[in-house]
Amino acid sequence: MSRYFTQDHEWIDVTGDVGTVGISDYAQSQLGDIVFVDVPETGKTLAKGDDAAVVESVKAASDVYAPASGTVLEGNAALADTPALVNEEPETNGWFFKITLSDPSELEAMMDETAYAAFIAAL
């Protein structure tokens, strides 16, 4: 499994041609207490950069963008009842959706964990 990050603070864990997408710990800390998450429907086709999900906190609502192109395999149903999972476990059980990648080469432009850590340190 490989993990990549975007400058918009999404992460994607890739195993084979399937990516699991969420937001980084940094992103959830900036949002504050998460009160609602809207994940994409199974079967939805997304292009890299498309609005894929919405996360609402007590501070603001934010879009979550597709870090890569593909078709949604599933949304994280647990977030409907427990949106706070995004705060508690943003980079594990607080994932938003899984996607079948249509163009894995898009991952090459993303940051690895070391580069992302340097990126957020500079913010």
The per-residue pLDDT for 20 is: 98
The per-residue pLDDT for 118 is: 98
Strand order in the sheet with 34-38: 34-38, 51-57, 61-65
pTM over 0.75: yes
Give buried/exposed letters for 14-35 (b at 16+ CB in 10 A, else e): beeeebbbbbbbbbbebbeebb
Residue 74's CB is within 10 A of a number of other CB atoms, namely 15
Architecture of the CATH domain 2-121: Beta Barrel (2.40)
Q: What is the mean pLDDT of residues 70-93?
A: 97
Given a cut of 80, is residue 103 above it in pLDDT?
yes
Q: What is the mean pLDDT of residues 61-86?
A: 97
The per-residue pLDDT for 1 is: 73
Q: What is the mean pLDDT of residues 68-84?
A: 97
pLDDT > 70 in the chain, percent? 100
